Structure 1
Amino acid sequence: MSVAITLVLIWFLGAGALALSSLRGLSGVVWLLVVIGIPILGLVTWEHGPLSGSLLLVAGALLLCWPHLPLARRVQRWLSGPQ
C-alpha cells in the first residue's frame, strides 16, 4: 500500500470520527481537515492518477458535509425505543 493511500485512510478515519461526534463548534477542525486533505489529495493524484484524485475529492467532500449524521440520529432513536 502506498504512502498516499495510507494517509488517505488516516484522514478518512479522522473525518469519520469527527462526523460521528456530537461536539459543537467544530468548524475549525473541519477547516483543519480541509487544509491537511488538500496536499494528501494532490499526492494521491500525482501517484495514482486524476481519476483516483477526483473520486477521493468527491468522497471527502461528501464526508465533510455530514449527510449521514441525521440518519445516524434517527437510527439511534429507533434503536433506543420509545421514551
Structure 2
Amino acid sequence: MNWSIALAALWGIAANVLAMIPSKDNLWTRAYVLIAVGIPILGYVTLQNGPWIGLLVLAMGMSVLRWPVIYLGRWIRRMLGSAQ
C-alpha cells in the first residue's frame, strides 16, 4: 500500500469518527475541513495510482460527504433552471 492510499484510508477513518461526535451546526464546519483536506489527498491518489483509483476514492469521499454533494447538485440545478 502506498502513502496516498494510506492517507485516503486515514481520511475515511477520521471522517467517520468526526461524524459520530455530536455537533450544534449539523457537522458543516467539519465537512468543510474534510473537503479542504480531502481534495489534495484525492489529487495525490490520482497522481500515484491513476484516474480509475482516483475515481474510486472520489466515490468513497462523496459517499461519506453526501449532503454537501446533494446541496451542490440542487444549487447547480437551480442555477441552470434560472438561466433559461
- TM-score, length basis structure 1: 0.72
Deviations 1:24-48 (A, max 9, x none): 3121111010010000000000110
Query: Does 2:28 match 1:35?
Result: no
Query: Does 2:3 match 1:3?
Result: yes
**Aligned mates of 1:57, 1:20 — CA distance in 2:** 21
Query: Does 2:52 match 1:51?
Result: yes
The equivalent residue for 1:80 is none
Deviations 1:34-63 (A, max 9, x none): 010000000000110100001110111111
Deviation at 1:65, TM superposition (A): 2.0
Query: Does 2:63 match 1:62?
Result: yes
Give the RMSD, CA atoms, in angstroms.
Answer: 1.4
Identity of aligned residues (%): 38
**Aligned mates of 1:33, 1:45 — CA distance in 2:** 18
Q: What are structure 2's unaligned runs of at least 5 residues? A: 68-84
**Count of aligned pairs between the two proteins:** 66
More relative contact order, 1 or 2 (CA 8 Å, 6+ apart): 1
Asked whether the equivalents of residues 15 and 33 of structure 1 are also in contact (C-alpha less than 8 Å), the reply is yes
Supply the AA of the counterpart residue of 2:32: W
Matched position secondary structure for 1:37: helix
Once superposed, which parts of structure 1, at least 4 consecutive aligned residues long, lie more than 6 Å away? none
Matched position secondary structure for 2:23: coil
